[in-house]
């Protein structure tokens, strides 16, 4: 299905289950059978949907995982999803080559079963990184499903297929099984339902962020070093006692360099049954740029050659902070039962920021609410990342050709190349010292970063945006020209050639939603029409025929 046009208009063209598909790829029910093993046997989803046996997760547990999309899978909604995704900030964009699995796992004693336990997971598979939203949705769906089975899932799927498509910047009302979830323009969510004729609501502070302070609490003396390791795309493994702690910590690490997008692979919960297990644990080459979250003790041996290991203890502990000041040596990590801490030989480029540590410690002593601690830490990471990115953005802006060099009758000028030495020279006067008080080897940090997947991803994205901007400026310059006067000096063949080129430009601008001034595309259509009408009737008939749409 090829869907085009503006968002609200194009939604009317969606087929049954298309709306469902913009939110979810599918819903899986994974049950454990003593004789068969996990029941969805053909994929690694079954193993990722259950905690490792050593986790001891009694009751209800929620966590998430992430896995690669099959190479032959292509969405029939591709064009439509590109349009809805374009304006989303990096942290809310849907995944291109991976799926997320959001899990609600229940394990309760049941003497009637051979194993002695009822074990089942309800899993939502989606390309959207809305972690908090989907966990909240599962809290509504899963208990109902465990009580009423399949009919309630069918009702939920029908509800979801009536939802508007996910779109940052719009207020969304999402009814589900008698409950209403409201998502505002900033993508904060509120869960509302009626109880005894009165409206009850729970506000979610965000739809996609985990609680940074809670996740980093066991190792929070090392938050700045962890920020550097994530920024540089270093191989990191998080060893945790449960999938919930493992997945939250990995997601916290990935989000700590926001608004920069983490461009390497990350697996919030990784098992020995993963299809990438051999690829990621081989000793024949250096560990890849990936962040893994694991719970199986087997990984303490398998991954002990990895350069950076974070060992997370029980997140409920409160008296552990003062004991984790020092970075531990890798050789001390023998088993998964080793003490919580960061095991690495890495030497940070930047001097430690003692102020943020004191501020957070003071918050713990004064019993400051977790939400406030989380906000302090998130703001700290945001300011640190922005201080690092601003000099790169400033240098990139200097590579943009001057607007006066844009001629409507020549191809748009090219962005000048990024030269590392030239960028480094700018840091002396316009480096991060203008916005950050932190001292240290900023130059060394930039040199390392420029070799990382995160720089490559950032630069490719920014170059694409700036090239598109040059195309838009070229289009605007073309629209200011008197085209009718110009074609009078040219042959019919040249006039037809001009019409075809202008039609291509218009098609490209509409498809890519180029950032042109309002009215530019309407002006371009009028120009095309005026040039066609100046040609003989037989040519007009040919040029007025619509082009064959892409199938």
Q: What is the pLDDT of residues 344-383, one digit of tens each?
A: 999 999 999 999 999 999 999 999 998 899 999 999 999 9
Tens of pLDDT along 69-100?
Answer: 876 655 555 555 665 666 677 777 888 889 99
Q: Is residue 504 part of a domain?
A: yes
Domain boundary among 172, 204, 236: 204
Q: Judge if 189 and 218 occupy the same domain.
A: no
SS3 399: coil
Q: Judge if 313 and 192 occupy the same domain.
A: no
- Contact criterion met (CB below 8 Å) for 309 and 342: yes
Taking the C-alpha atoms of residue 93 and residue 457, their distance in angstroms, rounded to an integer, is: 14
Q: Is residue 477 part of a domain?
A: no
Using pLDDT thresholds of 50, 70 and 90, give the confidence band for residue 245: very high
Q: Is residue 84 part of a domain?
A: yes
Domain boundary among 397, 429, 462: 462
Q: Which is nearest to 128 in space by CA: 178, 162, 165, 174?
A: 165
Select the more confidently predicted residue: 386 or 519: 386
Residue with tokens 């899978």: 73
As for how many domains the chain has, the answer is 3
As a whole-number percent, the residues of the chain with pLDDT over 70 amount to 83
Question: DSSP class of residue 398?
Answer: H
Max avg pLDDT among 165-179, 316-330, 453-467: 453-467
The whole-number pLDDT of residue 5 equals 30
41 is in which domain, residue-wise? 18-204
Output b/e per residue, 145-159; b: 16+ Cβ within 10 A.
Answer: bbeeeeebbeebeeb
Residue with tokens 């985990």: 210
Residue 460 confidence (pLDDT) above 50? yes
SS3 248: helix
- Cα 267 to Cα 2, 68, 98, 238, 256, distances in angstroms: 32, 10, 10, 10, 16
Tens of pLDDT along 41-61?
Answer: 446 788 899 887 666 677 899
- Contact criterion met (CB below 8 Å) for 291 and 326: no
The whole-number pLDDT of residue 40 equals 46
Select the more confidently predicted residue: 142 or 333: 142
Among 207-221, 429-443, 513-527, the range scoring the smallest mean pLDDT is: 513-527
- Cα 36 to Cα 33, 42, 46, 277, distances in angstroms: 5, 12, 12, 22
Domain boundary among 155, 179, 204: 204
Using pLDDT thresholds of 50, 70 and 90, give the confidence band for residue 192: low
SS3 212: helix
SS3 79: helix
Q: Judge if 157 and 60 occupy the same domain.
A: yes
Q: Judge if 442 and 501 occupy the same domain.
A: no
Q: Judge if 267 and 346 occupy the same domain.
A: yes
Q: Who's near 427: CB < 8 A, 6+ residues apart?
A: 391, 442, 443, 446
Count Cβ atoms below 10 Å from residue 255 Cβ, excluding itself.
Answer: 21
Among 186-195, 319-328, 403-412, 460-469, the range scoring the smallest mean pLDDT is: 319-328
Q: Is residue 1 part of a domain?
A: no
Question: DSSP class of residue 427?
Answer: H
Taking the C-alpha atoms of residue 245 and residue 294, their distance in angstroms, rounded to an integer, is: 10
Residue 7 confidence (pLDDT) above 50? no
Tens of pLDDT along 486-497?
Answer: 777 777 787 788
Q: Is residue 29 part of a domain?
A: yes
Q: Is residue 4 part of a domain?
A: no
Q: Judge if 449 and 432 occupy the same domain.
A: yes
What is the bridge-based pairing of β-strands 290-294 and 236-239? parallel
Q: Judge if 327 and 219 occupy the same domain.
A: yes
Q: Judge if 161 and 279 occupy the same domain.
A: no
Q: Judge if 217 and 197 occupy the same domain.
A: no
Q: Is residue 387 part of a domain?
A: yes
The whole-number pLDDT of residue 526 equals 84
- Cα 299 to Cα 43, 303, 306, 344, 542, distances in angstroms: 21, 5, 11, 16, 67
- Contact criterion met (CB below 8 Å) for 118 and 108: yes
Residue 203 confidence (pLDDT) above 90? no
- Residue 193 pairs in a beta bridge with 179, 200
Q: Judge if 292 and 424 occupy the same domain.
A: yes
Taking the C-alpha atoms of residue 309 and residue 333, their distance in angstroms, rounded to an integer, is: 9
Q: Judge if 447 and 493 occupy the same domain.
A: no
What is the CATH classification number for the domain harbouring 252?
3.40.50.11500
- Contact criterion met (CB below 8 Å) for 541 and 512: no
- Contact criterion met (CB below 8 Å) for 186 and 167: no
Residue 105 buriedness (CB in 10 A; 0-12 / 13-18 / 19+): buried
Q: Judge if 190 and 223 occupy the same domain.
A: no
What is the bridge-based pairing of β-strands 117-126 and 98-109? antiparallel
Q: Is residue 296 part of a domain?
A: yes
Taking the C-alpha atoms of residue 457 and residue 264, their distance in angstroms, rounded to an integer, is: 9
Select the more confidently predicted residue: 142 or 17: 142
- Please give the mean pLDDT across all residues of the chain: 83
């Amino acid at each position: 299905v090829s869907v085009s046009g503006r968002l609200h208009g194009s939604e009317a063209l969606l087929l049954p289950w298309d709306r469902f598909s913009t939110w979810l790829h599918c819903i899986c029910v994974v049950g454990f059978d003593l004789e068969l093993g996990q029941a969805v046997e053909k994929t690694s989803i079954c193993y990722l949907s259950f905690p490792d046996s050593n986790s001891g997760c009694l009751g209800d547990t929620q966590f998430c995982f992430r896995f690669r999309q099959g190479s032959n899978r292509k969405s029939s909604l591709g064009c439509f999803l590109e349009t809805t995704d374009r304006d989303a900030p990096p942290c809310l964009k849907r995944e291109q080559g991976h799926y997320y699995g959001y899990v609600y796992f229940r394990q309760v004693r049941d003497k009637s079963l051979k194993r002695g336990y009822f074990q089942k997971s309800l899993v939502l598979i989606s390309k959207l990184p809305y972690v908090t939203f989907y966990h909240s949705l599962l809290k509504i769906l899963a208990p109902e499903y465990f009580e009423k089975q399949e009919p309630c899932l069918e009702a939920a799927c029908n509800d979801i297929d009536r939802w508007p498509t996910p779109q940052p910047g719009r207020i969304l009302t999402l009814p589900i099984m008698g409950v209403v979830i409201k998502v505002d323009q900033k993508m904060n969510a509120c869960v509302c339902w009626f109880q005894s004729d009165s409206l009850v609501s729970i506000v979610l502070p965000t739809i996609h962020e985990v609680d940074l302070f809670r996740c980093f609490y066991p190792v929070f003396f090392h938050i700045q070093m962890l920020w550097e390791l994530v920024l540089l795309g270093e191989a990191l493994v998080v060893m945790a006692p449960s999938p919930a702690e493992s997945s939250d910590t990995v997601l916290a690490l990935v989000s700590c360099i926001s608004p920069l997008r983490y461009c390497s692979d990350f697996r919030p919960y990784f098992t020995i049954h993963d299809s990438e297990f051999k690829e990621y644990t081989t000793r024949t080459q250096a560990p890849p740029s990936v962040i893994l979250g694991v719970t199986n003790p087997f990984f303490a041996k398998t991954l002990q050659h990895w350069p950076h290991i974070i060992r997370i203890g029980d997140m409920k502990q409160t008296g552990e902070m003062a004991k984790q000041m020092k970075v531990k040596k890798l050789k001390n990590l023998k088993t998964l039962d080793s003490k919580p801490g960061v095991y690495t030989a890495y030497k940070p480029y930047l001097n430690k920021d003692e102020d943020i540590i004191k501020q957070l410690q003071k918050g713990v002593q004064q019993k400051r609410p977790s939400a406030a601690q989380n906000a302090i830490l998130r703001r700290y990471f945001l300011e640190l990342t922005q201080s690092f990115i601003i000099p790169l953005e400033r240098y990139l802006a200097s590579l943009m050709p001057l607007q006066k060099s844009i001629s409507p009758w020549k191809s748009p000028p090219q962005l000048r190349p990024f030269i590392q030495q030239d960028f480094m020279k700018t840091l002396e006067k316009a480096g991060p010292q203008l916005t950050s008080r932190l001292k240290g080897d900023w130059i060394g940090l930039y040199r390392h970063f420029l070799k990382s997947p995160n720089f490559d991803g950032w630069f490719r994205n920014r170059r694409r945006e700036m090239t598109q901007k040059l195309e838009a400026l070229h289009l605007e310059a073309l629209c200011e020209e008197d085209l009718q006067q110009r074609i009078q000096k040219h042959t019919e063949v040249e006039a037809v050639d001009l019409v075809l080129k202008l039609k291509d430009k218009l098609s490209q601008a509409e498809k890519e939603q180029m950032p042109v001034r309002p009215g530019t595309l309407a002006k371009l259509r009028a120009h095309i029409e005026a040039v066609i009408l100046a040609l003989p009737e037989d040519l007009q008939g040919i040029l007025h025929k619509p082009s064959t749409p892409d199938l």
